[in-house]
Chain A
Amino acid sequence: MSCPNELELSMYADGALEPHDAARVRAHIHACAVCAERALALAQEKQVLRAAFMAQEATIRVPSFRLARANGGAMLAVALLIGLASSSLVLADLLVLQRLPQPLRWLNPLTTERLVDLLLGLLVTMATEGRSMLMSTIETLAGAAAVALLVACAILLSRRTARHGAAMLALAFATLTVAPPSDALEIRRSEGVLNVPADQTIDDTLVAFAETIEIDGTVTGDLIAFGGRVVIRGNVQGDLVTGARDIEILGTVGANVLGFGETVSVGRSEIGGNLFGFARRLSTSETGTIDGNAVLFVGEASIGSPVGRDLYGFAGRLDVSGDVGRNVHAYAETVRILPQTKIGGDVVAHVEDESALQIAPGAIVNGSVRTEIDDARRGRREPGTVTRVGEFLWGQTLRFGAALVTGLLLLWLVPPLKRISLDGFGETATAAGLGLIALVAVPIIALMTAFTLIGLPISIVGFLLWLVGLYLAKIVLAHMFGRRLLERIGKPAHGAVALIVGLVLVLIAVNLPLIGGLLNFLLTITGLGLLVVFLWDRIQGRPLTT
């Protein structure tokens, strides 16, 4: 009998030959020393290979044992329920969004104005109807927490002009945190009018929530007031922190004023500290005074009252007719210094062109006048069709570039994101549902968390992470689309190529007429859900490794 071939011997050594073939080979080996030696060597080779496999196990770290993972079915049910419940609202919103000409929805599925409205509404609702839900001890810091969130929103609101937003944000927080805690605190709320009459003095800090808040009397501590309309005719000796559609300050405020609203008007009023104003329209009357700085993020600002120190205006239009003790820094489309106005220091205007800064004859500027032309804003006025298309394309290119760089950085930092995937309708729906929950719930949870003092930083971080998540959501999703598409056409790739392909797809999708907004919303919530699932899995004991 001839010697078995190499394959037969190999399979024999592995015990994989059919019984009769194995018997034949075994008989041969007994008679053939060469084959016997080869068979033995093959058996030993198998042992060495096993040892090599085992040897590599020694370096493996055993992660801690975690089992809990989101139950897909339950999650899906919850997601669908919430999705159904909110879909009518969302669709209605999207129809409204559709009328907006700019493709602004890359960053945020909600318009910023709506975000502010939403939060204000939420605060009033919580304050007026949520009494039974919240323990009185945690209610006490509601105002401060709300302000933290509102500051973030206000920054968003004024994003177009607020290039120093981060610094201002920090400043606003600082004013809140530096303020000494009051010894006592009084909370009042009403669904209608909440009035502190002229003959009444509140000897501590007052937190007020109502549709209309009127302060005719005196508050010796701080006043934190949120509602539809806030009118201060009396005297607030501490800080005034207020958010409302309309804010009127006619009385005296001993320290700072932090005001967020559609309109903020400061009449015959004395403000002992700084004025931080976030509003569509803000005006201060010549009969009022501001002893500190005025820092404004507004659409239209008309400053009639004297400002003791500096005036910082981030505005569409800024008119100054009151004296300013030191400098005027303006980031605006138009800046006018009206006649008879005295500026103690410099006037620095960041504007589109020279003519945007007008200093009336008769106005006095003790320091220098500088116009810094903002290239980014130049030529935005009265664009023709070609310019608009060019601008649009340029905007999209910038957006694409930013998303690409962010995406590459993200994938580099967190390589497992490259493998993120959605298989089938179920997973996609679950992710979208989770995303929707995250979209709605995170700000609410952040707000609830903020009700405790320790929770405040957590809530701020949570809110910022939420914003970051919204931005990253579509990038991660884009990478996945890109990867899938390339796999489909038989050119699998991940990383930059997949990201580029995916981003192009997403960018086209969200700019489609009529359905772009809806697609954008769906992409955002799906991507957000994917991120949530991903993070959840990681938290459940899957450390980030490559």
Chain B
Amino acid sequence: MSKDAEFEQLYVRHYRRVHGLCRQLLGSHGQAEDAAQEVFMRAYRSFDRYDPAQPFEGWILAIAGNYCIDLLRRRTKEASLFSDEDVEQLDAPSESPSPLGLLLSQERVGEVGEALAALPEKYRIPLVLAYYQEAGYDEIAAALGITRNHVGVLILRAKQALRRRLAETGHDASRNSRLARGAGRALQGDPP
């Protein structure tokens, strides 16, 4: 198979993941599309250096992660996206709901998506890199120019913020769905 044909197959298979990662990192669909194209372009150029023994997904997601972080850096025009001011008190008691709050399960996946999009950039980026790109803490620390521990703090804060938000919307959602179910039954003449 020619290089182009092989690459095209990989492109079709992995485009969504790359685009998705770019979107999560950049926070915009339009920018993600441009970024994803650029990422594949870069991958194509260095395709000769790609080791087929390694998973392609990991390789291209690493390119995508680094590219998006570069973009974000350029956007913020700062040497580092994450300054030391972001290091927070680790021992402060957490007031967020327990992780169990998220386990309301798959039917809330959509809400989780919205909550993710609403996260501040400094929380969202490490979380996305860790859980979406599946990068290790060391890798993230190197990419963002912060310490490994700092990465841990930011990811924890991200999750706490998510839990809080989902706990808030969860109350509304469960009340609304109860109301909706009740209204549905009333319309169909079923006993409530």
Interface residues of A (CB under 8 A from B): 5-7, 10-11, 14, 16, 38, 41-42, 44-46, 48-58, 60, 62-63, 65, 67, 69, 415-416, 419, 487-488, 490, 492, 537, 541-543, 545-546
Contacts and interface: CB of A to CB of B under 8 A. Distances in A.
A314 B29 CA distance: 51
Contacts of A53: 20, 24, 113, 116, 128, 131-132
Contact of A5 (B44, B90, B105): B90
B112 interface: yes
A51 B106 contact: yes
Interface string B93-116: 010001110110110011011001
18 contacts: A11-B137, A44-B99, A44-B103, A49-B127, A52-B112, A52-B116, A55-B109, A56-B20, A57-B17, A60-B15, A60-B23, A62-B16, A67-B44, A419-B34, A487-B77, A492-B77, A537-B37, A542-B37
Contacts of A38: 98-99
B148 interface: yes
A525 B22 CA distance: 32
Given A10-B152, A65-B8, 6 more contacts: A38-B98, A48-B109, A62-B16, A67-B41, A490-B77, A492-B75
A16 B134 CA distance: 12
B63 to A, nearest CB: 15
A452 to B, nearest CB: 33
B103 A41 contact: yes
For A7, A416, A488, A537, the residue with the greatest tally of chain B CB atoms inside 10 Å of its CB is A7
Nearest to A42: B99
Helix, strand, loop or mixed for chain B's interface? helix
B82 interface: no
Given A38-B98, A546-B29, A56 B113 contact: yes
A490 B34 CA distance: 25
B100 A62 contact: no
Contacts of A14: 130, 137, 152, 155
Contacts of B7: 67
A55 B107 CA distance: 11
Given A5-B90, A42-B99, A52 B136 contact: no
Given A7-B153, A10-B159, A48-B105, A542 B33 contact: yes
B132 A50 contact: yes
A52 B132 CA distance: 10
A7 B136 contact: no
B19 A7 contact: no
A493 to B, nearest CB: 12
Contacts of A41: 98-100, 103
Contacts of B131: 46, 49-50, 53
A11 B162 CA distance: 17
A60 B94 contact: no
A52 B37 CA distance: 23
A546 B30 CA distance: 4
Given A65-B12, A416-B34, A16 B99 contact: no
Interface string B1-31: 0001001100110011101100110000111
Contact of A45 (B15, B102, B136, B151): B102
Nearest to A423: B74
Range, interface on chain B: 35 or more
Interface string B63-98: 000000000000101000000000000110010001
A58 B110 CA distance: 12
B156 interface: yes
Nearest to A484: B77
A142 to B, nearest CB: 41
B16 A60 contact: yes
Contacts of B156: 6-7, 10-11
Contact of A56 (B23, B98, B152): B23
Contacts of A55: 109-110, 113
A217 to B, nearest CB: 62
Contacts of A69: 41
A88 B98 CA distance: 73
Contact of B30 (A42, A415, A488): A415
A492 B113 CA distance: 27
B89 to A, nearest CB: 11
Interface in B109-144: 109-110, 112-113, 116, 127-128, 130-132, 136-137
A301 B103 CA distance: 86
A386 B112 CA distance: 65
Interface in B152-182: 152-153, 155-156, 159, 162
A62 B12 CA distance: 7
Given A50-B131, A60-B16, A65-B12, A416 B30 contact: yes
A542 B34 contact: yes
Interface in B35-60: 37, 41, 44
Contacts of A487: 77
B34 A45 contact: no
The 10 closest A-B pairs by CB, nearest first: A52-B112, A41-B99, A16-B137, A45-B99, A57-B16, A57-B20, A53-B132, A11-B152, A62-B15, A10-B156
B31 A419 contact: yes
Contacts of B137: 11, 14, 16
Contacts of A58: 16
Nearest to B11: A65
A14 B148 CA distance: 12
For A56, A57, A58, A488, the residue with the greatest tally of chain B CB atoms inside 10 Å of its CB is A56
A14 B12 CA distance: 30
B20 A60 contact: yes
B14 to A, nearest CB: 10
B140 to A, nearest CB: 9
A7 B41 CA distance: 38
A434 to B, nearest CB: 18
A104 to B, nearest CB: 37
A518 to B, nearest CB: 30
